[in-house]
Amino acid sequence: MRLGIIGLSQAGKTTIFNALTRGDQPTSMSGGRFDVHTAVVDVPDPRVDKLSVMFHPQKTIYAKVTYADIAGLEGSASKSGISGQLLNQLTQMDGFVQVVRCFEDPNVPHPSGSLNPGRDIAAMESELLINDLIAVERKLERLNDERRKGGGRDKTIIEREITLFQKLNAALNEELPLRDLELSQDEEKALSGYGFLTRKPMLVLLNRSDGQKPPEIDYPHRHSAVTDLQGKLEMEIAQLPPDDAELFMAEYGIEELGLQRVIRLSYDLLGLQSFFTVGEDEVRAWTARCGATAHEAAGVIHTDLQKGFIRAEVIGYAELVDLGGLSEARSKGKLRLEGKDYLVQDGEIMHVRFNI
C-alpha cells in the first residue's frame, strides 16, 4: 500500500510524515519545490503480537505501508495540468493523505494570508480535478479521431470508450471527483491503467495544534474520510524512546497514536484487509483486498502457491487463539479446507496446500 502525503505549502506535510513514520526529515522547506521522501513502516496489529507469542517464531513480520511525502502541489491549477516527475509520483499512489492546515503559527504565515481549511481543501481538489479533466479531454479527442478515421479497432469498443469518457468528462465539469461515480466492473477495468488522481481514495487529515478543537469539515465524497491529528505533538512522541512515549501519551491523554488511526482508516478506504501465515519459522501478516479469493491470497504470498494451488487450510484468528494453537485446532477438526473461490476474511490464518 502506497499513500501519498499531499497538501498546500506550510500545511505541515513533513511534520505528519515524521509523525507517521517516526522520521526526522527537516520540516522547514521552501514551498513550490518538487521533492519526495518515502518511508516503509510496519502496520501495527495486536493480532500479530499475540500470534508471535503463541508460536515463538524465528521472525515476526508485519504488513507494510509506504508513505511518500510529496512536495510540489500548490493548489494553483495550471491549464496544462500537473506534469513531469510530480505527476508520475502521484499516479503511482494507491491513495492520498491530504494534510490541511488548522494551526496558527505567527512564525510560519499561511501562504494565503489566513486560515481557512475549507478553502484549502477546495484549492487542492481543484488542482487534481483540472489535471484529470485535461487527461480525459485529450483521450476523448484521440477516440473521436480514431472513430472518424476508422480501419483500426472494433467500432463498438471505440463507442463504448467514448461513452465512458464522456461520463467522466461530465462529472469533472461538475467539479465531482471521479471516485464519486458509480462504475460497472467493466468500466473499472477499462480505467485501471489511467491513474486518474480524483479516483484515488482520499483521507483528509486536519493538522491542528496541541489542544485545539478540530474544525467541522464537510467532505461528502465516496471513498473518502476526514480525521484530525495534533501533528507537531505526534511527531515529537514518535521520535521518543517507547517508554518515554508512553509517559508522554498518558500526560496528554492520547490513547492511540495517529499512525494506528491513519492506517486503519486507510485500510478501510482502500478496501484492504489482513490475513496471516503462522509457524515456527515465521509469523507474518499479509495484505489483500476485501473480497479476495483464497487463490488470489495465495498469490500475495508467492506466485508458486497460486500456480499450484490445491486447497487452503483456514481458521479464524479468535478461534485459533481460543483453541491454543494449530495442533489443537487440527486435532479437533477446526481447520477448514477451502477451494480457490473461497472469500478470505479479515484476520484469518491460512496455510496453502500446493503442488508444482
> Is-contact 259 43, C-beta < 8 A?
no
Percent of residues, the chain, with pLDDT higher than 90: 71
Q: DSSP state, 216?
A: P
- The answer to whether 47 and 60 have CB atoms below 8 angstroms apart is no
What does the pLDDT read at residue 79?
Answer: 63
Using an 8 Å Cβ cutoff, are 273 and 300 in contact? no
Report the pLDDT averaged over residues 190-196: 92
Mean pLDDT across 176-190? 94
Strands (DSSP E) along 72-123, which ranges? Answer: 95-101
* Phi, psi (deg, nearest 5) at residue 238: -60, -25
In the structure, what pLDDT confidence band is assigned to residue 33 with cuts at 50, 70 and 90? Answer: low
CB count in 10 Å sphere of residue 326: 19
Residues of the chain above pLDDT 70, percent: 97
* CB atoms closer than 10 angstroms to residue 52: 18
Residues 166 and 134: beta-carbon distance below 8 Å? no
Q: What is the pLDDT of residue 280?
A: 92
- 327-336 pLDDT, tens per residue? 999 999 999 9
Q: What is the pLDDT of residues 209-263, one digit of tens each?
A: 988 888 899 999 999 999 999 999 889 998 899 889 889 888 878 888 887 888 8
